[in-house]
Amino acid sequence: KPELVPIIADRAHAHGLRVSGHVPAFMSARQFVEGGADEIQHLNFIVLNFLFPEVKETRNRDRFIKVAERAREFTPDKPEVREFIDFLRQHHTVLDPTMNAYEALFCGDPSATTPGLEEIVPRFPPQVRRAMRSGALEVPPDKQTAYHDAFPTMLRLLKAIYDAGVTIIPGTDALPGYTLHHELELYVRAGIAPAEVLRMATWTPALVMGVDKERGVIAPGKLADMILVDGDPTKNIGDLSKITTVIKGGKVYDPKAIEKQAAIRAAGAQPRKRGTPNIVQSSLRRKENQRSGRLIHAHTSARSRSVCQKSKQSRMFKDRDIGQRHNRCRYIRNFGRPAFRTAFPKFFEVLNYFFFNVLARGIRSLRI
């Protein structure tokens, strides 16, 4: 509820915590910041600020569809846009734009891989590849131009926010590591220098989180958590994906070995080709399995008959000894098909209790 935001923010700030997240439904980004929020997740909520109160419910896909349809109307040169960007700067609001999400939604193909990951996703195991579809929005025929212009407009908006001095920290809301590299590439595409993008991904988050005394830069006295790359990302941000060594917590890791353990193919390796299935062998194997199944079923039936005979013999016992009754209970518990006993163990437990505690007592009382 929007009315709870100031209460939550006051309590969080009293404990030295920050308030960060989505702009709640029925609330604008301006109201969210005025209520005490320190950070806004996702750039679409900045665009939705200009659509409020026309678009209030943002817990559904309208938070994407309306942005795709209307984003091109709110270019950085509009007075209302410039005023709101200055509002964010004055309130020291941090923005986590997650640009990769909107590239996938507005520019992707619903059945294709997420944009920017085309060279990476084919290396993943099949179950991961299936989950890495872009999830792009279906573009209505009369909205194709609006959707086409939406993402470039958001890139220009990101650059204007950066130029105004608003703090930006990179986030992805998607596959860790690999997607972050593409997120940084999108910042460079927006017009931010690669060296500045690297600073936004390292030093700036450390400042925001208050851990800059031990993290954020490579310097004496800092934690030596770093990566070594084959290239110069200050000139070509794409070189960040060419990681040769990872140092974390005083340990050195080989990225190729880690990917191999995660069943990720090495870059440039060709996928293993499966041979053409032999229809004759498959048919013979299926018949063999069926034959084995019949043998198992026959064996199970014979075993059940044997247990049944033991059960009949146990019912001939007239000894009222508790141990003997327990023996009869054991025979009955083993009676029946194994698959049925496995599926309904509680049923047989109750059945045993009924026969040998309730019914047996009634029979004994009649004999007496």
**Domain-terminating residue out of 192, 223, 254:** 192
| pLDDT confidence bin for 307, thresholds 50/70/90 | very low
Confidence of residue 296 (pLDDT cuts 50, 70, 90): very low
pTM above 0.75, yes or no: no
**pLDDT of 128:** 83
Confidence of residue 315 (pLDDT cuts 50, 70, 90): very low
Kindly state the tokens that stand for 320. 């009222």
pLDDT-wise least confident of 12-26, 73-87, 123-137, 326-340 = 326-340
Domain, as residue range, for 325: 303-367
User: What confidence score (pLDDT) does residue 301 get?
Assistant: 45
Does 25 reside within a domain? Answer: yes
Please identify, among 192, 213, 247, the residue that sits at the C-terminal boundary of a domain: 192
The pLDDT of residue 362 is: 52
Evaluate if residue 37 carries a pLDDT over 90. Answer: yes
Confidence class for position 323, pLDDT limits 50, 70, 90: very low
- Region of poorest pLDDT, from 9-18, 267-276, 329-338: 329-338
Residue 198: inside a domain? no
Judge whether 76 lies within some domain: yes
Rounded CA-CA distance 164/174 in Å is 27
The answer as to whether 328 is a domain residue is yes
When divided into structural domains, the chain yields a total of 2
* pLDDT at 368 (0 to 100): 44
Q: Which carries the bigger pLDDT value, residue 325 or residue 188? A: 188
Residues 6 or more apart whose Cβ sits within 8 Å of residue 247:
224, 225, 226, 227, 228, 253
What's residue 332's pLDDT? 38
- Backbone dihedral angles phi then psi of residue 159, each to the nearest 5 degrees: -65, -40
Closest CA to 30 of 7, 12, 5, 64: 5
| Structural domain contains residue 249 | no
pLDDT tens digit string along 43-54?
A: 999 999 999 999
Domain end (from 176, 192, 208): 192
CA dist., res. 168 & res. 184, Å (int): 11
* Contact between 25 and 59 (Cβ < 8 Å): yes
In terms of domains, do 187 and 322 share one?
A: no
